[in-house]
Amino acid sequence: MNKLAISEDDLQAWVDGVLSETRNGEVEEYLAANPEEAERVRAYQAQKQALKALFEPVLDEAVPQRLQALAQPPVAVDAKKRPIFERWSLQRIAAGLLVAMVSGAAGWFGHAQHQAAERQAQVMPLPRQAAVAHVVFSPDVRRPVEVSAAQEDQLVAWLSKRLGTPVRPPKLGAIGYELIGGRLLPGNSGPVAQFMYHDTSGQRLTLYVTTENATNRDTGFRFAKEGPVNVFYWIDGQFGYALSAGIDKSELARVATAVYDQLEHK
């Protein structure tokens, strides 16, 4: 026995590839000299890979609805159920603290306001909402929209009626994007509209229009990146607009400017 004796723990760690380089070399020397042991640990290695392969497909299964729903905070978990001070005493990151403060405050102010605060705490920011809607619908080959551009009049009438205010898809033909159609979606507190466009290469772009922004002030252009999706968004009175696509920022900015100009001069 030369260096440190090779232990069973070393062999297990060798299987998992977590040994230091030196130790790994020592274990391999040992295995070379002990073919039976080598056979045993190689069987463990194969076993590990087989287990991985066996259960890998579960990762690709669609997550059942009931589990997906649980990624959202359940209604029962709210500030009213727990003492406010418990929340205060815990260290939280800034965002968590804000939620705690909002819902903590709600505890003081009674039921109606509490509900409002809870809603607020769960609101998804505009660019994220838009990006999610973009990635959900834009890859859809057969039904990317509910009402196609061929019935643009109906689309406009319907969405305007549901949003309670006139909405109209901007015309982007001049900059190379053609309207495919649109759909109605649930927003944070009511209906929102999504218009979809594509260019000649089939690159899709969506414009997300909300009328839920009563409390927000106007903003200039803002840019957000949600994974592979770039989003330009801005707020204009009650309207929130978000333009999303998997194209680069400068090209998207060009389109956003065109959209903005048309909406301004409507």
CB 52 within 8 A of CB 16: no
Rank residues 70 and 150 by Cβ distance to another protein and give the closer one: 70
Question: Which window, 68-76, 101-109, 152-160, 161-169, contacts another protein (CB under 8 A)?
Answer: 68-76
- Shortest Cβ 49–another protein spacing (Å): 8
Q: Which range of residues in 12-20, 182-190, 200-208, 233-241 is near another protein by CB under 8 A?
A: 12-20
Among residues 2, 20, 22, 72, the one that binds another protein under rule CB under 8 A: 72
CB of 3 or CB of 92, closer to another protein: 92
Count of chain residues binding another protein (CB under 8 A): 43
Of residues 13 and 184, the one with the C-beta less far from another protein: 13
Cβ proximity to another protein, 59 vs 174, nearer residue: 59
CB of 95 to another protein, least distance (A): 8
Q: Which of residues 193-232 bind another protein (CB under 8 A)?
A: none
Of 63 and 157, CB closest to another protein: 63
